[in-house]
Amino acid sequence: MRREDLTDSSCGIAQSLGIVGDWQSLLIVREAAAGVTRFEGFARELGLSRRALTERLGSLVEHGVLERVPYSARPPRHDYRLTASGEGLLPVLLALQEWGTRFVMGDGTLSGALGEGDLARARSLEGTRVPDVALTAYDGSTVRLVDPDRWTALFFFPGAYAPGTHGYPPRWSEVPGTAGCTLECVSYGRRHAELAAAGARVVGVSTQHPEQLAAFVAHADLPYLLASDQDGLAASALRLPVFRAGGADRLKRVTLLVDDEGVVRHVQAPVTDPAQSVDDVLALVRELGARS
């Protein structure tokens, strides 16, 4: 069915489904968010026939979800990259992922803890290359997930808020997996100088707004960057486990140790002891960094 075939022209849901209402198109967007850009890459990851993939890519380009960027003139070849419209679909993918994990793969219980599917997905990141994603830091600067000059201790967490600010959703403390965010952030602050001396920077990421992160950084006096993934760019690119609380998607706690070439050298999941996990990351930076 095409968009023009839908009778309810005033419904945004119906009109959206006319463009990305089939599973192949949504999975193409998922792969594009993860850094796949070439025709052969999409075909390999999704197992689609060349004809079906050509049709889906053409439709997504036609409707402005993807754009074709030439990389070869002879023969003519193109990369397929997400447009601003395509990036606008990422929260939809996160919502589908959260719903599928909670209600299809799980029993419907709200939890910020990692389930079996979450663990498998997180651990599969080890040895992969981190997509080139740029996020907005608490101070308004741009921070990338990979630093070509040093390793990165990249930790994702549900949320941490300064006292007296409008932050934690109602009954937040009752959701499994949410406790320990402040302790984890502060522990990285205490070990920051040692991590830097070992050749690693620290970047913490949550889906909070930058101003909320700025208030917490000031309160906790953190010496490293906290970055906002409020648009789901990093979560979609890495297919990170999420849960929904307080009307927003939240990142479950996962830590990636990324080398200066952008390769995930270690995945820390689950993180059951936030303070000890920081010491473990420091030990890994010293051990693995010394071998590189």
Per-residue pLDDT, 169: 85
* pLDDT profile of the chain (292 residues), mean per 10: 59 90 95 96 96 97 97 91 96 94 93 94 96 96 97 97 84 92 98 97 97 96 98 96 92 97 97 95 91 66
Full DSSP string of the chain: --GGG-S-TT-HHHHHHHHH-SHHHHHHHHHHHTT--SHHHHHHHH---HHHHHHHHHHHHHTTSEEEEEEETTTTEEEEEE-HHHHTTHHHHHHHHHHIIIIISS-S---SS--HHHHHHHHTTTTPBPP--EEEETTS-EEES--TTSEEEEEE-S----TTSS-SPTTGGGSTT-TTHHHHHHHHHHTHHHHHHTTEEEEEEESS-HHHHHHHHHHHT-SSEEEE-TT-HHHHHHT--EEEETTEEEEPPEEEEE-TTSBEEEEE-S---HHHHHHHHHHHHHHHHHH-
Would you say the CATH fold of 93-291 matches that of 3-87?
Answer: no
Architecture of domain 3-87: Orthogonal Bundle (1.10)
Per-residue pLDDT, 142: 98
Per-residue pLDDT, 9: 73
Per-residue pLDDT, 292: 65
List of residues 6+ apart from 128 with CB closer than 8 A: 263, 264
Per-residue pLDDT, 1: 45
Per-residue pLDDT, 165: 76
Per-residue pLDDT, 96: 94
Overall fold of domain 93-291: Glutaredoxin (3.40.30)
Contact 145, 227 (CB under 8 A): no
Any idea where the domains of the chain sit in the sequence?
3-87, 93-291
Per-residue pLDDT, 199: 96
Per-residue pLDDT, 123: 96
